[in-house]
Amino acid sequence: MRAAFNPFRHLGAAASGDIEAQRTLAERGIELAIAQGDLLTAMDSAVFARLAAAQGSRDDKGRLLSILALASSLTSEDERDLRESLAAECLALVSLLADDGEEFADQFLLSIAEHSSPTAVELSKHLRAAMLDKGE
């Protein structure tokens, strides 16, 4: 039997920029979100996945994309704004991955765009610009 996961053991390292701690918190959080079907846990996991993706590899960006898609699938009809925001972030992220030459990204971009509302598509343009802005 697997020992209970204690996320607090990794928070300090994750907060200090330790990418392995960020990955661990994202991965274990998403496992728990899937097991429990819990949106809040998925959203918490997405925070750590965003931090890892900001300093990591395409795998980290792919993990973030998966977590965002899962979180979106866990939203209810009453959480339409959140669902659109998550879809917009997915679109923006996939667009950047496509720009980086990631093979799967072009296919996902079209699929996500076709299933997204016009509001999410428009918001994705603003999020994409924000993701590219390095403040220099």
pLDDT in tens, 53-85: 999 788 999 999 999 999 999 999 999 999 999
Contacts of 15 (CB under 8 A, 6+ apart): none
Whether residue 87 has pLDDT greater than 60? yes
Q: How far is CA 40 from CA 5, 34, 52, 132, in A?
A: 17, 11, 19, 27
pTM of the prediction? 0.89
pLDDT in tens, 3-35: 788 999 999 999 999 999 999 999 999 999 999
Q: How far is CA 77 from CA 38, 73, 84, in A?
A: 15, 11, 11
Residue that wins the pLDDT comparison between 37 and 56: 37
pLDDT value, residue 123? 96
pLDDT value, residue 81? 95
